[in-house]
Amino acid sequence: MQWIAKDKADPNKVQTLVQELNAPEVIAEILCQRGIDSEEKLRAFFNPRIGDLHDPFLMKDMEAAVERIEAAISLQEGVLIFGDYDVDGTTAVSLVYSFFQPYLQQCEYYIPDRYNEGYGISKEGIDYAASKSMDLIIALDCGIRSVELVNYASELGIDFIICDHHLPGVSLPAAIAVLDPKREDCAYPYKELSGCGIGFKLCEAYAQKNDLDPNTYLQYLDLLALSIASDIVPITGENRILAYFGLKVINEQAGTGMSALKSIAIQKETLGIGDLVFYLGPRINAAGRLSKGTKAVALLIEEDWNKATELAQELHQLNADRRQVDESITGDLKRIVQQQPELLNNTTLVFYDPSWHKGVIGIAASRAVEMFYKPTVVLTGSDGVLTGSARSISGFDVHEALIDCSDHLLQFGGHTYAAGMSLREDSFDAFKMAFETVGQRKISEEDLIPKLYYDAFLDLDLVNDKFHHILQKMAPFGPSNRQPVFMAKAIELAADPQLMGKTKDHIRLNFQREFDRITAVGFNMAVKLPSIKEADTLDVCFQINENIFNGRRSLQLMLKDLKPTSDSGIASS
């Protein structure tokens, strides 16, 4: 792993911030690196306000969307709330359904089956709406490219409002309203909302136009925070405000379903973004991966505690099952590479096995990137059609790569670092070759070296409760506002390293400081033990976390990487 220091900030701006914040220079340096370099930006960053949210009517087609919903309410029409089966989609459906259901005569929700219908708006979903005499479908976290299906719905007399955050295609669907800040003709100031965030802005707009109490939509910020965390959208601008207040709702007054999920998933007083990503999100996702995504919505809208607890326990068990399947597929990938080491000579990796579970191949692709650090596609299939998930590395846009391979695909979509696709089985070899060709053209040898970017050097003696408190003020952390990573040089061990965990894959170290010691934990770093024991001193990259054990709080370092100190005293690359 190559360690790279982030670019230094303007020293004059850093010194100005030092004076304004009365904080260590390293904190001011990190803030300036992130563009927080003025009094106005400091205020917005450290004191988020709901009042700083953008006017929802700045979004293209918002007026038309609200007017169509008002007509549906007035005419007592049926409305179907349709969304994707992942966390973003199910939280979006839960939020929009919970908000509008009290005002509608007939309102239902629909989550497509991952296996029978696939991603996005489905013909089956439209046919269901028609069978229930629905007049309007509100599609969330999908639909921006569903031109033909929206036309099909129109032929059946069903209108569409699309709330999506993915990149549009060449032409937009002929819906009553297409809400997507990524539209070229949309002037909405913030472009990185999640799908649930678009749904939230729709509710906000309706409430504003109809003079409703803001709490009618703000009460659902717990759902939006879970969406923002799990969909890995940048936690900047409006997303930062929404995540900040959403965490407050989760920790202080979460809905019944969310509270039941929290009680089963994690025993912790105060949850942060990372807890949503690693504990709550996977349990919501497990419903769509191994069963039905509707179970996630059923939990998130449930108001009876006993029923919510039963649903949360079911999702908890589904997640445990998912982990077993995940471990099995990951083991298969390891064995394939061990048996065919020549695969690692390629720039990309493409794996296929018809026995792999369709709901877990995306996670397996992520695991493969972690293990081999190459853009990876994992495919499964049946009846002559393969379905796959792609995950990428820094600097390689996997969605663009799939565009270059589109001649061999039936369908595809996604983002820069994650995408999905389907193809005919007889196109597998051609697709694999085309994907590798794109990789060879766009990826350099340097790109295939994992990078660890650190924010600043830090003397371990500066790590104390006050310093940690200031760092926590920078939360919530996430994309574009990552928890700071520090680098310390020539650190001495104060005791012998210890192995941790059931399988002894992790290490615990004690580092010597001027007057005391500080504990450091490295997950999956047991393989580094021989080099640690041989080194006189270590260079380390780390984050600072609070550890709570038996009611006792202490600070500890969470290691990102470590190396024996080089002769020059600087970590080698």
Paired with 349 in beta bridges are 376
Are 275 and 361 part of one and the same domain? no
In angstroms, the CA 196 to CA 188 distance is 16
In angstroms, the CA 536 to CA 380 distance is 49
- Tell me whether residue 502 is in a domain: yes
> What number is the average pLDDT over the span 64-72?
98
In angstroms, the CA 392 to CA 370 distance is 10
- Tell me whether residue 51 is in a domain: no
Residue 294 has pLDDT above 90, yes or no: yes
Q: Which of 108-122, 148-162, 317-331 has the lowest mean pLDDT?
A: 108-122
Residues 337-384 have pLDDT tens digits of 999 999 999 999 999 999 999 999 999 999 999 999 999 999 999 899
Name the domain count of the chain.
3
Residue 42 has pLDDT above 50, yes or no: yes
Are 89 and 186 part of one and the same domain? yes
Last residue of a domain, one of 448, 463, 487: 448
The whole-number pLDDT of residue 115 equals: 84
What's the half-sphere exposure (Cβ side, CA atoms, 13 Å) at 421? Answer: 33
* Cβ 135 vs Cβ 79: under 8 Å: yes
In angstroms, the CA 481 to CA 227 distance is 17
Are 420 and 457 part of one and the same domain? no
Domain with 417 in it: 340-448
Are 459 and 423 part of one and the same domain? no
Nearest to 236 by CA among 21, 456, 485, 477: 477
Global confidence as pTM: 0.91
> What number is the average pLDDT over the span 90-99?
98
Are 148 and 197 part of one and the same domain? yes
> What number is the average pLDDT over the span 468-480?
92
Paired with 540 in beta bridges are 488, 562
- Residues of the chain with pLDDT > 90, as a percent, come to 89
First to last CA, the chain: 7
Paired with 163 in beta bridges are 140, 179
- Tell me whether residue 369 is in a domain: yes
Whose tokens are 């990552």? That residue is 482
Residue 499 has pLDDT above 80, yes or no: yes
Kindly give, in sequence order, each residue whose CB lies less than 8 Å from that of residue 20, ignoring residues fewer than 6 positions away: 39, 42
Residues 158-191 have pLDDT tens digits of 999 999 999 898 999 999 999 999 999 999 999 9
Are 430 and 543 part of one and the same domain? no
Give φ, ψ of 137 to 5 degrees: -115, 125
- List the structure tokens of 310: 């039963």
- Tell me whether residue 36 is in a domain: no
Paired with 40 in beta bridges are none
Are 265 and 361 part of one and the same domain? no
The CATH number that applies at residue 235 is: 3.90.1640.30
User: Residue 211: left (phi > 0), alpha (psi -120 to 50), or beta?
Assistant: left
Are 443 and 456 part of one and the same domain? no
Banded pLDDT at 573 (limits 50, 70, 90)? very low
Are 262 and 198 part of one and the same domain? yes
The CATH number that applies at residue 487 is: 2.40.50.460
Last residue of a domain, one of 431, 448, 465: 448
Residues 386-405 have pLDDT tens digits of 999 999 999 999 999 999 99
Banded pLDDT at 572 (limits 50, 70, 90)? very low
Helix (H) or strand (E) holding 109: strand 106-110
Last residue of a domain, one of 448, 481, 508: 448
Are 218 and 291 part of one and the same domain? yes
Nearest to 461 by CA among 547, 572, 555, 553: 555
Residue 69 has pLDDT above 50, yes or no: yes
Are 499 and 544 part of one and the same domain? yes
Determine how many CB atoms are found less than 10 A away from the CB of residue 195: 30
Number of H helices, E strands in the chain: 21, 19
Nearest to 88 by CA among 238, 226, 237, 248: 226
* Cβ 65 vs Cβ 91: under 8 Å: no
- Tell me whether residue 370 is in a domain: yes
Banded pLDDT at 568 (limits 50, 70, 90)? very low
> What number is the average pLDDT over the span 452-464?
95
Residue 561 has pLDDT above 70, yes or no: yes
Banded pLDDT at 569 (limits 50, 70, 90)? very low
> What number is the average pLDDT over the span 9-27?
91
In angstroms, the CA 504 to CA 448 distance is 29
- Tell me whether residue 44 is in a domain: no
b or e along 329-353 (b: 16 or more beta carbons within 10 Å of the residue's beta carbon)?
A: bbebbeeebeeeeebeebbbbbbbe
- Tell me whether residue 23 is in a domain: no
The CATH number that applies at residue 441 is: 3.10.310.30
Residues 426-436 have pLDDT tens digits of 999 999 999 99
Are 432 and 462 part of one and the same domain? no
The whole-number pLDDT of residue 549 equals: 75
Determine how many CB atoms are found less than 10 A away from the CB of residue 326: 22
> What number is the average pLDDT over the span 221-238?
95
Q: Which of 137-141, 479-483, 485-489, 556-560 has the lowest mean pLDDT?
A: 479-483
Banded pLDDT at 413 (limits 50, 70, 90)? confident
Determine how many CB atoms are found less than 10 A away from the CB of residue 241: 21
Determine how many CB atoms are found less than 10 A away from the CB of residue 492: 13
Residues 335-349 have pLDDT tens digits of 999 999 999 999 999
- Tell me whether residue 438 is in a domain: yes
Helix (H) or strand (E) holding 139: strand 136-140
Residue 560 has pLDDT above 80, yes or no: yes
> What number is the average pLDDT over the span 535-555?
90
Per-residue DSSP letters for 167-217? PP-SS----SEEE-TTSTT---S-----HHHHHHHHHHHHHHHTT--THHH
